[in-house]
Structures are given as structure tokens and as C-alpha cells.
A and B are shown apart, each in its own frame.
Chain A
Amino acid sequence: MSHPTDDELVDLALGEPVDASRSAHVEECAVCSASVEQLRRTLRLTSGPLAYADWQAPDDAVWARVTAEIDAQPDAPVGAGPAPATMGGSDAGPDAGPAPTPPETSLLHDERPSGTDAPERPDRPDPSDRPASPTGPAATAGTAYAPEPVPADATVTPITAGAARATRRRAAAWGAALVAASLVVGLLAGRAIWSPNESGSVSQVALKTLDTRQREGQASVVRAGDGLDLNVVTDRPLDAGDGYLEVWLINADGKRMVSVGVLRPGETGTFPISQALIDQGYVVVDISKEQFDDKPAHSGDSLLRGKLPA
């Protein structure tokens, strides 16, 4: 005897009257009874106490973190290079996409390089678990309008503006000590590794739009006295709308960023930065469009971006 139709299974799940021979079949048939159970479960979950959700969007800066993390570690291999999307039909049927290839990367496990954010995080005092900011609210407060230099030992504005990393506070003492230690190491290593060429330029990168990868500017790190300058120039003035342009250094871990200053459209911006920032992984140069909204965090609206070469 053939299986009941989907409609008949739904009626069974709903407790609607169904032909007796059909329900007898379902009782005997594992596939059909599993199917009815699935439908009942769907009903239970739909009719639960949660009829209306109180949707809460993440902070705008999270999108910038997503793109920064992707840009910082460009494509981990994804299968055997999926074919270009079939854009032609609006009815993307089962065959519209390339056959799903088992990806070499798994969704199930953190793909970030070990050390940036490891699943075993709580087991050890991870440097990235340092408290929000040893320099305290000052670092946060300064981000929006202040193009002041970032002092060499500045710890960086956490991306979640002001949000206390309360659950990780226990690592605070450890973290602070590690930060101090890593700064020293970073400074020493940085001096040794980063030697400028004749022109004084330490490194440079093209700044491209996030979507079309159009080159529209350039950022370069140059020696300036004892420290470093970040020079940012765009090929044509960026449109700040009724807001302003802000230049950021985003950490390659995609979790932290620091504002280095405000860029006036059409002008070259020079911002004092430090070797320590570079050494700590703040290597993604990002220009964002910001509103005058008293929110010091990144708006999430990135116009151009480029990752400084190591």
C-alpha cells in the first residue's frame, strides 16, 4: 500500500479526520510516523509561548567585524571553487546551484588561526581576553572625534563600545600582565623586523571598495621620527553624506579596532600610529562613514579597506 500524501500526514498531525486505512498504515510505517511526529513537533514549537519575538539587531559595528575578519584571512578554501552563480533565472530550482561540495573547512569548528579565538579560551589566560581597556573609558571616549595620536601603549577601544567584558573579567589580572609583556616583546620584535626602505615607507596597501573591490585609494605606513605615520589618500573625494569619514585600524582577529582619526574628504590624512599597534595585529586600514550620533563605535558602513602586508 502506498504512503499517504503530505496533506494526509498533515491532517493526521492536526488531528483532522483521516481515512482509517491511512492512519492504520502510518501506525505501521516508520517513515510515515516519523513524518507525522516531525509535523507535530513543528506545531508544538509554533504554538508555544513565543508567538511574537522581540527582535534585536546586533550593533552596527558587528558587520564591520565580519568583513574585517573575512578580509584579514581571505578565503579559506571552500570546496572546489563553486561555479559562478546562475543569475539568470528567478526560479532557482534544485539544480540552479553548483553541486554542494564537501567543504574543506567546516562550519562546525572555529576556523580562525589558533590563538585569536580558540574554543579552549577559558582554559587559559588568553591575551585576547584582556579586560576591555586598561586605559579605561578614556580610550573609548576618544574615538569619535579625536584624531589624537594613539600612544604606543594604548590599548585599543574594544569593538563592543563600552560593553564590559564582564564575563571575562576574571582574566583581567592575567590579561593586563600579558598585555604589558606582549607590548615589550612586540616593540623589540617590531624594531628588528620592520626596517624601512630608503623612501621611509614601511608598507603600503591599496584601499578598495568592499563590494566591487575597486581600487580607490591607498594607505601607507611611513617612518616619522621615532614613530610611524599612517598616510591615507583617496583617488577622489569620498562622499561623507551628512556625516564624516573616520579612519580605523582593525585587528586581523576581527574583534578589535581602534580609531586613528577623521579624514576630510578629498584630503590626504596623516595619522600618528605606533609600531605596537601593527605588531598587535591592527593591520586592516578601514575608512568608514560615520554619523554625528554620539556613538563612538564603528558605524558598520565601510567605504574602503585594505590590509597592510605583514
Chain B
Amino acid sequence: MHVHDDPDVESAELAVRLVGGDREALAEMYRRWSPLVHTIALRALGTREDAEDVVQQVFVAAWRGRATLRPDRGSPAAWLVGIAKHRVADVRTQRYRAHRNLQALASEVVTEPTTTHDSDWAERLLLVHELERMGDPRATVLRMAFIEDRTHDDIARMLQMPLGTVKSHVRRGLLELRDRLQEVERVASD
């Protein structure tokens, strides 16, 4: 395993290795991101069994569809989340159909899927994951700015950091997070 200071470089390298057919890269991706995929699926579907099925499907699909991974789009995490969204949607459709069929037996009409959901779970969790993964001080700056809703002046004072540095972390960080969301959208809208 190579050691890099920059997790993005490491992730991009993992992506390149996967595209090249390196099974160990898949194993490493599983170690890093199966909790992310599993948590998303669990939140969306509610049962461990379905969530683990989704995890299995996502990583099998990641292997078989590795040619669609774009190492230049940064961390493969967003790519995996995009695949996971598809799989979760598939399970929901299956449930809906099952539900509808059962209901049809009972001569009733169903208008809604069985699970209510916030369709942004996957994106939210990915962003939390990215924030956790991001090195400091940027992660702290972003947390204070976006989650704790502090002003840039506040952050600069509390972290004893020049205001310009705070602003630059906020800008870079937000752009980076935006790029992750775009990657999810690219994969999920395929």
C-alpha cells in the first residue's frame, strides 16, 4: 500500500487500479466505503438484510462496471453512492410492486410506496463522510461554517487563523463537496 498524505490522491490511485482490474483495489474500496454504502442503504430501506444485499450488489456492480469509473472525478466514494442509489431504488420498486400485488389481492388500490423517504439521504451521508474524511483545518472550518453556522470572522478568531485563509477553506471545501454531488448525479442519472 502506498502512503500518501492526501487522501484524494490515494483515492484517485485506487480508482485507477480498479479500472485496471486490480481485485485488491476492490477490497480496499470495500474496507473504506462499505460502511458508507451500508449506512445509506440501511437508512433508506430499514432492514439490515436488504441493506446488506444492496452492499453486495453495489460492490459486485462496481467490479463489473469498473470501466465506468472516472478516476478524474475524484474519490470513488461518490461513484459508489451513485450506484447505491440505483440499487436502493430497485429494492423500493420491488417492495412497491410486492405491496401493490398484495393490495390487489385485497382489492385495494395503492397510491404510495411502502417506505417514505427523504430522497437526499444518500447525498447527505456522502457529504458527512467527505467532511469526516477531509483533513484539518479545512474540515473544522467547514463544520463551523456550515453546520454550526458561524461567521467567517468568528471562525478566524476562534481558530486564530487569518480571515483570508478561512474564506479560502470555505470556498475550496464547498466546491469540492459540490463536485462530489455532481458525481453522484452523473452516475445516478445514467
Contact = CB atoms under 8 A, between A and B. Distances in A.
User: Interface residues of B: mostly helix, strand, loop or mixed?
Assistant: helix
B122 to A, nearest CB: 10
A96 B170 contact: no
B154 interface: no
B97 A6 contact: no
A97 B15 contact: yes
Nearest to B41: A58
A75 B60 CA distance: 10
B48 interface: yes
Interface string A210-221: 110000000000
B29 to A, nearest CB: 11
A251 B26 CA distance: 21
A219 B49 CA distance: 31
Contacts of B34: 57-58, 62-63
A70 B23 CA distance: 10
B66 to A, nearest CB: 6
A298 to B, nearest CB: 12
A191 interface: no
Contact of A55 (B35, B142, B143): B35
B67 A42 contact: no
B16 A62 contact: no
Nearest to A160: B49
Interface string A1-39: 000001100110110000000000000000000000011
Given A38-B182, A53-B125, A119-B94, A254 B56 contact: yes
Most buried by A among B20, B50, B142: B20
B162 interface: no
Interface residues of B, number: 83
Interface string B1-34: 0101000010011011111111111110010001
A47 B146 contact: yes
Contacts of A7: 171
Nearest to B89: A108
B128 interface: yes
Contact of A107 (B25, B35, B65, B178): B65
A55 B19 contact: no
Contacts of A149: none
A163 B124 contact: no
B64 A6 contact: no
A65 to B, nearest CB: 5
Given A45-B181, A254-B60, A85 B22 contact: yes
A129 B82 CA distance: 27
Given A57-B34, A57-B35, A211 B27 contact: yes
A123 B19 CA distance: 36
B156 interface: no
A180 interface: no
Contact of A50 (B42, B98, B128): B128
A192 interface: no
Nearest to B185: A38
Given A39-B178, A97-B15, A120-B97, A106 B65 contact: yes
A151 interface: no
A14 B143 CA distance: 15
Interface in B98-115: 98, 101-102
Given A42-B174, A56-B38, 18 more contacts: A41-B181, A42-B181, A45-B120, A46-B131, A47-B147, A48-B124, A52-B128, A56-B39, A62-B34, A78-B65, A82-B67, A85-B17, A85-B18, A92-B9, A97-B69, A102-B67, A123-B101, A160-B48
